[in-house]
Structure 1
Amino acid sequence: MGVDQAAKALALAKLSAIQPVSIIPGFLSLRLLRNPGASLGMGAGATWVISLLAVFACLAFVLLALATDSMSWTLAFALAFAGAAGNLIDRIVYAQGFLDGEVVDFLDYGWSVGNIADLYLALAAAAVIVMVVVGWPFRRSGAAAARQGEGER
């Protein structure tokens, strides 16, 4: 979350919505955008609902991370938490009313503008999809956990 918030602070200080800075021509530029909605601009009129969903998502990610004994699943949930919390911080800090603040976006891909927190969420989603597809266990079986515990003594 620290990297996300530092990048957003730098974007607020140095970038403009009018003059994008090209990083990879035709693919990535830096442009300041304040987003009241969710991904791809959806939900702009329901910012407080999105904020409440983010609160519940953060809580769910913490509970899921505590429920697994897999480091891979824990890292995926930690990334998801960092992404959701990073954008929730913006909604709280830049709010005029109840959880109605705008998220600071600055990574312009041409078809979407996002931020580091969005990258965390995308990486977490990709990791979860891969782990589900390959059947990565959320918890080790009782026998496997017992063997691991014996080896640690």
Structure 2
Amino acid sequence: MTNQQGRLRTRVAVFACVAAAALIVDQLTKAWAMAALSNGQTIRVIPGLLSFTLVRNPGASLGMGSGATWVISLLAVVACVALAVAGVRTVSMKWSVALSFAFAGALGNLIDRVMYADGFLNGKVVDFLNYGWSVGNVADIYLVVAGVVLVILILMGEPFSHKDLIEQSDESLQSGPEADAKQ
């Protein structure tokens, strides 16, 4: 096994472990919410900022797309496949971890849509984190955090692929001390 194959296996293992752990936390918190909040009660955690309130959301963020739940579900399937492929293709552990959280978030909400469906992919997501202006869940937190981290990785120029690594090393060679001496 080459060093490159070993690193790939490590990144894939990290992707799988982080995604699995995150997915378990998401599903356990949703199971707790359905058991503890099923009678319509609200638990105040931080008055004015956070409470626990059970909501079944057929749509996407802020309930948008409630009438097209199956479309949202199909998009989530596509997103999960794309995130898994990207997680395997990246050469960066940072990208791999961020993509694994996005994958766990997308899959966590997709599981709800499948488990609580009355028809073809028309289930509702279990939301319970009530911020006053929106109600979400742990999977939503993963998606937001992953999105922010991915933007930061792009802005920092963190290489995603071998091509990016080569381009970065070519740029550093062209702007290194020898290039400064020629100027």
TM-score (norm 2): 0.76
Provide the rounded CA distance (Å) in 2 between the counterparts of 1:112 and 1:17.
Answer: 20
* Aligned counterparts of 2:74 and 2:167: Cα–Cα separation in 1: 40
Kindly state the Cα deviation for residue 142 of structure 1 after the two structures are TM-superposed.
4.3
The answer on whether the counterparts of 2:91 and 2:159 sit within 8 Å (CA) in structure 1 is no
Tell me which structure has the larger Cα radius of gyration. Answer: 2
Could you tell me which of 116, 131, 138 is aligned with 1:109?
131
Give structure 1 regions of 4+ aligned residues with deviation exceeding 3 angstroms. Answer: 142-145
2:77 and 2:110 in contact (8 A); partners too: yes
What residue identity is the alignment partner of 1:45? G
C-alpha displacement of 1:18 = 3.7
Deviations 1:58-105, CA, capped at 9 Å, x for gaps: 000011111111000001110000000000000000001000000000
Give secondary structure in 2 for the equivalent of 1:46: helix
- Normalised to the residue count of structure 1, the TM-score between the two structures is 0.90
Output the CA distance in 2 between the equivalents of 1:143 and 1:20. 53
Query: Alignment length, in residue pairs?
Result: 145
Give the Cα–Cα distance (whole angstroms) in 1 for the partners of residues 82 and 106 of structure 2: 11
Q: Name the Cα RMSD after superposition.
A: 1.6
More helix as a share of residues: 2
Partner of 2:3: none
Structure 2 unaligned regions, length at least 5: 1-22, 170-183
Return 98-107 or 10-19, whichever deviates more: 10-19
Matched, 1:80 2:102: yes
What is the distance in 1 between the residues matched to 2:151 and 2:81?
20
Q: Does 1:8 align with 2:33?
A: no
For structure 1, which runs of at least 5 residues remain unmatched after alignment? 146-153
